[in-house]
Amino acid sequence: MSRDAAACAAAVAVLLDAMELGEDVALSVLWEAIDEVVSRPALRAAVANITAVLPPPDSDPGGEWRAAMVDRYAVVRRFVPKLCETIEFGATADAAGVLDALRGLPELLDARPTKRVPTGYLDQAAVAVDVVPAGWWQRFVFPPNRPEGMVDRAGYVFCVLEQFHQRLRRRDTFATASSRC
């Protein structure tokens, strides 16, 4: 993510520097200057990677987006244990924490509410907090109205699944029996 952000920042820095040259700078000159710091394919890839991670600009993590996720929690609740027991996954060292968090989800999904841990929450000590990235997931997993020491169950589950999916796409996590390179 930081490499992608750095590529975008380098391209924008060229545009900002070009403003000092005047308003009549040709587009071809701008692209040549940008190509010197980052290639167009690399810039396109960086923008696509950043867009895939971030929620839409007009979304509210506590609003429509969250409601859509929570509505699908029942489906995920049945699916995740089967995924974890059916497919053997491996991971690179960088993705090992996310894979461990995924493997721990079935037990967390079966956790029943107690006097200390109310319905819809998980004990923060029982989850892999370090796999929750900064940004919008923090507001989703650690909503301000949650009981102290708790995390939102649905938010944490979807966060782990999304982190796992990102690692699959980058091939940092993989099915060990897969023959695809």
Residue 59 located in a structural domain: no
Alpha-carbon distance of 153 to 119, in angstroms, equals 9
Residue 37 located in a structural domain: yes
- Residue 151 in tokens: 């995390």
Is residue 175 helix, strand or coil?
A: strand
Residue 180 located in a structural domain: no
Q: Are residues 8 and 44 in the same domain?
A: yes
Which amino acid does the sequence have at 61? P
Which residues form the domain of 32? 2-53
pLDDT, the chain, mean? 85
Q: Are residues 79 and 119 in the same domain?
A: yes
Which amino acid does the sequence have at 59? S
How many beta carbons lie within 10 A of that of residue 89, not counting itself?
Answer: 19
Q: Are residues 15 and 78 in the same domain?
A: no
Residue 31 located in a structural domain: yes
pLDDT in tens, 120-159: 999 999 999 999 887 667 778 888 889 999 999 988 998 8
pLDDT in tens, 50-94: 877 776 665 555 556 666 776 788 888 888 999 999 999 999 999
Q: Are residues 49 and 132 in the same domain?
A: no
In a 13 Å sphere around the CA of 119, the CA atoms on its Cβ side amount to: 0
pLDDT tier for residue 15 given thresholds of 50, 70 and 90: confident
| pLDDT value of position 74 | 82
Residue 131 located in a structural domain: yes
| pLDDT value of position 61 | 53
Contact at 8 Å (CB) between 159 and 181? Answer: no
Pick the last residue of a domain from 33, 53, 73.
53
Alpha-carbon distance of 156 to 170, in angstroms, equals 21
Widest CA span of the chain, in angstroms?
68
How many beta carbons lie within 10 A of that of residue 2, not counting itself?
Answer: 7
Q: Are residues 45 and 71 in the same domain?
A: no
Residue 97 located in a structural domain: yes
Record the pTM.
0.64
- Residue 91 in tokens: 């991971």
Contact at 8 Å (CB) between 166 and 131? Answer: no
Number of domains observed in the structure of the chain: 2
Specify the residue for token string 């079935």.
106
Question: In this model, does residue 1 exceed pLDDT 80?
Answer: no
Return the sign of the alpha-carbon dihedral for residues 131, 136, 141, 147. positive
Alpha-carbon distance of 62 to 79, in angstroms, equals 24
Residue 116 located in a structural domain: yes
| pLDDT value of position 180 | 61
Residues near 130 by beta carbon (within 8 Å), at least 6 away in sequence: 97
Residue 114 located in a structural domain: yes
